[in-house]
Amino acid sequence: MDKDHYIHQFDLGPQELKLRLLDCGRKGGEETLELKQSGLNVVPVDAERDLPKLSFQDEAFDMALCGGFLFAANEKLSDSFHIQALIELARVATEVRVVPLVNEQGQPSKHLGPVLQELQEKGFGVEVRQVKNQNNGHPLLRVWNETCKVK
């Protein structure tokens, strides 16, 4: 994946390109190396192997990006797994972005509604928004922890 496709896929702005990013994709590695060489501060994680538990400290990353694993490719995984994975990603990153939100047939994932509801009930902020690009765009999920921490 080239840098421009990555930027458009996750709707990253110029300031977000300077952040510490966690790339939580399917069998991450080679693609992330290419992104690192293009100047992005990206750490890869193999979503299939590592979720729903990650070995990073709380808020170790500014943003976690998860493409092609949750919702889209894993209709077989439970709602509970999706919720646990997103909560874990929100633990290690200030914000989580997930694409795509449709299954392999292009239909909205059966997990999306129940997962959004459960995350909101647990106090997480959630947003589904349309990302515009040359191919008419795609939906993107944002998740963040709404708990205010007083230091």
Q: Please report, for the chain, the start and end positions of each structural domain, with discontinuous segments joined by +.
A: 3-145
What digits encode the pLDDT tens for the residues 22-50?
A: 998 765 556 666 777 777 888 988 888 89
How far from chain centre, in Å, is Cα 121?
Answer: 20
Instruction: Identify the top-confidence range among 39-43, 61-65, 67-71, 134-138.
Output: 61-65
Is the peptide bond prior to 52 cis by the omega test (within 30 degrees of 0)? yes
How far from chain centre, in Å, is Cα 146?
Answer: 17
C-alpha atoms less than 13 angstroms from C-alpha of 38 in its C-beta half-sphere: 15
* 3-145 homologous superfamily: Vaccinia Virus protein VP39 (3.40.50.150)
CA dihedral of 82, 83, 87, 89, whole degrees rounded to 10: 10
Helix ranges restricted to H, 15-138: 30-37, 47-50, 79-92, 112-121
What digits encode the pLDDT tens for the residues 85-140?
A: 999 999 999 999 999 898 778 888 899 999 999 999 999 999 999 887 656 678 99
Angle between helices 79-92 and 112-121 (to 10 degrees): 50
